[in-house]
Amino acid sequence: MALNELTIHAARTGLQAKQFSSTELVKACLARIKQTESKINALITVCEPSALREAKKADQNGYQPSVASRQPLAGIPLVIKDIFSTKGIKTTAGAKLLANYVPVYDATVVTRLKHAGAIILAKANLDAWAHGSSGENSEFGPTKNPWDLSRVPGGSSSGSAASVAADQCLAAMGTDTGGSVRLPASFCGVVGLKPTYGRVSRYGAIALASSLDSMGHLTKDVTDAALILQITAGPDGRDATMPDQPVPDYQKNLSPPLKNLTIGSLLPAKMAPPLKKIYQQALTVLAKQGAKMISVKLPHLDFAIAAYYLIMSSEVSANLARFDGTRFGADRQKFGAEAKRRIMLGTYALSAGYYDAYYRQALKVRTLIAQDFAQTFTKVDLIATPVSPELPFKLGEKTADPLKMYLSDLLTVPANLAGLPALSIPSGYVKQLPVGIQFLGPLFSEAKILQTAYHYEQQAPWQKKRPRL
């Protein structure tokens, strides 16, 4: 196996055993980037000189147990979605308006990863301002799905997912406002975790919708997902929306067997038979692990998309108001079509005479959806759903019909509206294209979600299959 194909935990073992160096690991990833980047366009900025410098420092410090305990990511190259502020590294949010913006500080997530020893390899492409479900809205060109270059990788964390799937890096950070980690994880065949709202600090991430944004990540397996969450989770005084909630040992909680676990199955009315078959096979695997399955319904699920896009667009109109040309060097003429669409929708929904009719009603629906989940979780421990009712679609297939594009988030937006944790994990392939299953849990139930996904993964190790590029 090539070094760039390793998981984080396998790379840590190899570094500690002196089987290879961080410099060799970083060079392997850089070589893979040079081999594949022209095909998939997953990255905006590659930090080759600084990554090699940091790798050399990590090698000089060594990987003895004392270092590993302080820096569990020592010498590990990661990709960061280009919506996280990175000190001294260009941060564009996938938008030409910020094409030359270089922050003077790191986002909290980046700070914690650096303190853990991680090496920033590159900044990942994304739908501009994280506005999108396909990766096609990036103003630096669309990202392509490594499994089929004619198809989308999902969005908005398109570059992060494609980069991990293509083995350009060992893992990547993303953000999830309505499915922007989970949908690309499903479309690209990797693991994508969206934590509980407030579990990971939002400080330093360019906001899409402040009450919906969650800082997540994409990895090659569940063990790595637990490891990164262990590092990024926890209170941050610079994010006032974070409760003082203790952080459990996610890695230690992976292996205990599933006992008395009840999973609620939630299946959309319209779903292609091959995808439905894969979903049912995944439930069968979990049942053999000892999980009990029951069918559940969320009464207000059909209203989730409408409520989400009203609330999200309203917050977009407020958050993008700061980009008025006085601080970032470019005026609003630089906004792309999707940003303008969302600004207009949100401003309209918040305007006098329409606030009560639209925005306030959407907030009421949000409350009802949260109540639906709370009621359901009195009967089940977790909910399992498909991530998407469809396969990765063709590039350009939905760009002319934004409403059709928005429906891609049908099964992912409810978790954001309720602030719940959710994880996407590969569950099979149709026509050589990945398909994901999603686990959702109550607030701060990441440990249970990761444990369930880990046991599923042991019986269905889809992460061993890789795209041919």
Backbone angles phi, psi at 329, to 5 degrees: 80, 0
CA distance 120 to 241: 27
Tokens 């293509």 belong to 166
Q: What is the DSSP string of 22-76?
A: HHHHHHHHHHHHHHHHHHH--EEEE-HHHHHHHHHHHHHH---HHHHHH-TTTT-
Residue in 409, 416, 424 with CA at minimum distance from that of residue 132: 409
Question: Which one from 21, 22, 27, 81 is the annotated catalytic residue?
Answer: 81
Q: What is the DSSP string of 223-267?
A: HHHHHHHHHHBS--TT-TT--------TTTTSSSPP-S-EEEE--
- Please indicate whether residue 445 is annotated as part of the active site: no
- Please indicate whether residue 81 is annotated as part of the active site: yes
Which residues are bridge partners to 205 per DSSP? 84
Secondary structure of residue 392 in the 3-state scheme: coil
- Please indicate whether residue 156 is annotated as part of the active site: yes
Beta-strand runs (E) in 248-322: 262-265, 292-295
Half-sphere exposure of 101 (CA within 13 A, CB side): 23
Question: Which one from 134, 157, 163, 180 is the annotated catalytic residue?
Answer: 180
Question: Which one from 85, 134, 156, 408 is the annotated catalytic residue?
Answer: 156
CB 298 within 8 A of CB 317: no
Active site residues: 81, 156, 180
